[in-house]
């Protein structure tokens, strides 16, 4: 899942640095993720994982790092499987 | 009881009204001469209004956003520039209160704001960036215990009169343009070389000249949180809400003047309904809509305040943006109605029904962080954020 997230981040994140230089826990906002790009990334992830982010997860923290995104996506996917 | 506690003890609304009375006396001169409303600001200081937002623990009064908004609206009814200065001061202060607690330097600074009634200015706008708050070109340089910053700040309201300026920059020389911090610089720690003159259509008393800002100070004065968080969790909301409260006050006073005009006409011709009465009814309906909008925004902020996840959510940002967009557009139509009601008496300066200053001041609202920019941000967020389907929240 993280590889897919990294791929999307590289494509949509508009970061001034290469995604491979970022650790999973690195702060994406500090790395230059703009609010516009973060929304593009959210859209890309919704599409790639066939999920919809509920509004309470559409916040800065859910997208602060690759780890945080993976956690957010897992929570949604697991919630769906449980349901 | 000593003098100080007596003043503090007085109700906030009464103190605001006293300030408004002073502001109103000089509003036309401030507008005409494009000068700083020093009488009104002195009155704010003696009413001790600059420290109200500081927590009680640090000597302030712990005023809520609703209380501060009420003060903005009261003062704006008499002088929009004075109210905007008060609003901008409290927007800056909200960043200290929300993000400086627990930090020794910033707590001491808040204490000083109360004690000395310091006036805080803001420098986010930058040459080459404009109103794109979440981007900076300039970078702060931290050298041991010291930080230095040079910024081409094209708009700093009351830059010359402020006692301290809170200024955004990139967090270091190599940082991305969105990796920002905000730093407090005290008056004796910066120099301002004027580059732009604020000779504008309205809001002439905010004296928002442009400057080349150069500063050096202890690095502990950098706010301990990334500006991205400060913007999302305190500044975005307080800007839109306190600005909107101020704009509402302008519109309210224009309608109050129109009502006085209609009442005078009704008294002059008992038994008939004056021609402006219907328009007045229409204007009050719109005014009510603006008021409801501002109140709903304030309630939403109060509810979200204790929860950073909510404060930084897209839904919250969309809601705050919408308050700003709607208020800034609707006040123009309401004030214009007031002008139509008062006719030439409204168009002329120096009559009890003059609306010209209101209309000119109100025109700044759409540009103060361009509505175009805000709408395009909202548009982006709406590609993922889904609208709330309930009526009551
Ligand atoms: C009364 C008043 C007091 C102020 N005080 C201060 C202060 O104390 N400190 C401070 O830092 N700033 C202050 N400002 C500045 C304010 O916050 C904005 O930064 C400024 O008004 C924006 O200026 P601009 O329109 O030239 O720039 P820009 O934001 O660059 O916009 C220029 C124009 O480009 C268009 N545009 C820009 N972006 C977009 C977009 N994304 N989509 C579509 N169109 C776009 C819009 O039509 C806009 O009008 C003040 C402004 C006012 C009116």
The per-residue pLDDT for B10 is 61
Show the domains of chain A with their CATH numbers: 2-14+24-82 (1.10.1200.10)
On the question of pLDDT at B132 being above 70, the answer is yes
Closest CA to B354 of B212, B263, B250: B250
ipTM of the complex, rounded to two decimals: 0.86
On the question of pLDDT at B7 being above 90, the answer is no
The per-residue pLDDT for B309 is 82
pLDDT confidence tier of residue B49, bands split at 50, 70 and 90: very high
Q: Is B310 on the interface with A (CB under 8 A)?
A: yes
On the question of pLDDT at B6 being above 60, the answer is no
Best of B178, B229, B369, B390 to mutate (most A CBs within 10 Å, chain A): B178
Which residues surround ligand 1 with Cβ inside 6 Å?
A: B 84, 88, 121-125, 130-132, 155-157, 203, 206, 208, 364, 367-370, 372-373, 376
Alpha-carbon distance of B354 to B347, in angstroms, equals 6
Q: pLDDT over 90 for what percent of chain B?
A: 90
pLDDT confidence tier of residue A82, bands split at 50, 70 and 90: low
> In the numeric block, which tokens belong to residue B343?
């006719």
On the question of pLDDT at B380 being above 60, the answer is yes
* Chain B residues near residue A16 by CB distance under 8 angstroms: 176
Alpha-carbon distance of B261 to B249, in angstroms, equals 18
Q: What is the mean pLDDT of residues B229-233?
A: 90
- B68-101 pLDDT, tens digit per residue, is 999 999 999 999 999 999 999 999 999 999 999 9
- A8-32 pLDDT, tens digit per residue, is 999 998 888 888 899 999 999 888 8
Alpha-carbon distance of B121 to B153, in angstroms, equals 12
Cross-chain residue pair A59–B309, CB shorter than 8 Å: yes
User: Poorest-confidence range of A22-36, B4-18, B239-253?
Assistant: B4-18
On the question of pLDDT at B2 being above 90, the answer is no
Q: What is the mean pLDDT of residues B231-259?
A: 96
**A35 or B289: which leads in pLDDT:** B289
Best residue among B79, B86, B155 to mutate for probing ligand 1's pocket (most ligand atoms within 8 Å of CB) is: B155
Give me ligand 1 centre to Cα B252, in Å: 25
Among the partner residues B179, B383, B385, nearest to A30 by beta-carbon distance: B179
| Residue nearest ligand 1's atom 51 by CA | B368
pLDDT confidence tier of residue B146, bands split at 50, 70 and 90: very high
Cross-chain residue pair B229–A36, CB shorter than 8 Å: no
Q: Which DSSP symbol is given to A18?
A: -
- B264-318 pLDDT, tens digit per residue, is 999 999 888 998 999 999 999 999 999 999 999 999 999 998 887 888 899 999 9
Among the partner residues A30, A34, A46, nearest to B384 by beta-carbon distance: A46
Q: What is the mean pLDDT of residues B322-343?
A: 98
Best residue among B30, B88, B131, B211 to mutate for probing ligand 1's pocket (most ligand atoms within 8 Å of CB) is: B131
Show the domains of chain B with their CATH numbers: 3-118 (1.10.540.10), 122-221 (2.40.110.10), 227-381 (1.20.140.10)
Alpha-carbon distance of B355 to B343, in angstroms, equals 10
Alpha-carbon distance of B327 to B247, in angstroms, equals 7
Q: What is the mean pLDDT of residues A38-64?
A: 90
pLDDT confidence tier of residue B64, bands split at 50, 70 and 90: very high
- B315-329 pLDDT, tens digit per residue, is 999 999 999 999 999
Q: pLDDT over 70 for what percent of chain B?
A: 97
Among the partner residues B179, B312, B377, nearest to A60 by beta-carbon distance: B312
Q: Is B61 on the interface with A (CB under 8 A)?
A: no
* Chain B residues near residue A34 by CB distance under 8 angstroms: 134-135, 178
């Amino acid at each position: 899942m993280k590889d897919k997230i990294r791929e999307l981040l590289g494509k949509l994140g508009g970061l001034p640095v290469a995604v491979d230089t970022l650790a999973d826990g690195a702060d994406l906002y500090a790395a230059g993720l703009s609010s516009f790009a973060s929304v593009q990334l959210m859209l890309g992830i919704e599409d790639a994982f066939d999920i919809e982010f509920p509004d309470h997860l559409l916040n800065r923290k859910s997208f602060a790092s690759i780890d945080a995104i993976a956690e957010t996506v897992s929570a949604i996917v697991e919630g769906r499987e449980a349901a | 009881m000593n003098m100080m506690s007596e003043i503090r003890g007085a109700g906030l609304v009464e103190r605001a009204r006293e300030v408004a009375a002073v502001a109103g006396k000089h509003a036309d001169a401030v507008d005409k001469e494009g000068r700083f409303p020093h009488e009104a600001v002195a009155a704010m200081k003696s009413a001790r209004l600059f420290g109200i937002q500081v927590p009680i623990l640090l000597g302030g009064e712990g005023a809520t956003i609703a209380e501060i908004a009420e003060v903005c609206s009261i003062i704006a009814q008499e002088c929009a520039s004075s109210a905007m200065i008060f609003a901008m001061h409290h927007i800056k202060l909200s960043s200290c209160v929300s993000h400086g607690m627990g930090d020794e330097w910033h707590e001491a600074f808040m204490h000083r704001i109360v004690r000395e009634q310091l006036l805080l200015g803001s420098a986010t706008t930058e040459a080459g960036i404009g109103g794109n708050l979440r981007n900076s070109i300039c970078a702060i340089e931290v050298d041991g215990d010291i930080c230095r910053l040079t910024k081409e700040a094209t708009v700093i309201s009351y830059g010359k009169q402020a006692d301290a300026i809170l200024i955004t920059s990139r967090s270091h020389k190599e940082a991305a343009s969105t990796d920002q911090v905000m730093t407090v610089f005290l008056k004796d720690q910066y120099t301002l070389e004027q580059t732009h003159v604020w000779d504008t259509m309205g809001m002439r008393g905010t004296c928002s000249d442009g400057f080349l800002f150069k500063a050096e100070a202890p690095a502990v004065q950098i706010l301990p949180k990334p500006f991205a968080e400060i913007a999302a969790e305190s500044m975005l909301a307080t800007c839109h809400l306190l600005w909107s409260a101020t704009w509402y006050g302008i519109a309210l006073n224009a309608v109050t003047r129109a009502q006085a005009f209609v009442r005078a006409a009704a008294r002059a011709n008992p038994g008939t309904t004056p021609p402006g009465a219907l328009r007045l009814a229409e204007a009050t309906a719109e005014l009510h809509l603006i008021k409801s909008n501002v109140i709903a925004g304030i309630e939403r902020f109060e509810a979200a305040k204790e929860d950073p996840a909510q404060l930084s959510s897209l839904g919250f940002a969309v809601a705050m943006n919408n308050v700003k967009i709607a208020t800034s557009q609707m006040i123009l139509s309401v004030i214009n109605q007031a002008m139509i009601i008062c006719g030439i008496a409204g168009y002329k300066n120096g009559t009890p029904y003059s609306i010209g200053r209101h209309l000119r001041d109100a025109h700044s609202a759409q540009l103060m962080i361009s509505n175009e920019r805000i709408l395009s941000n909202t548009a982006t967020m709406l590609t993922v954020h889904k609208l709330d389907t309930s009526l009551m929240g």
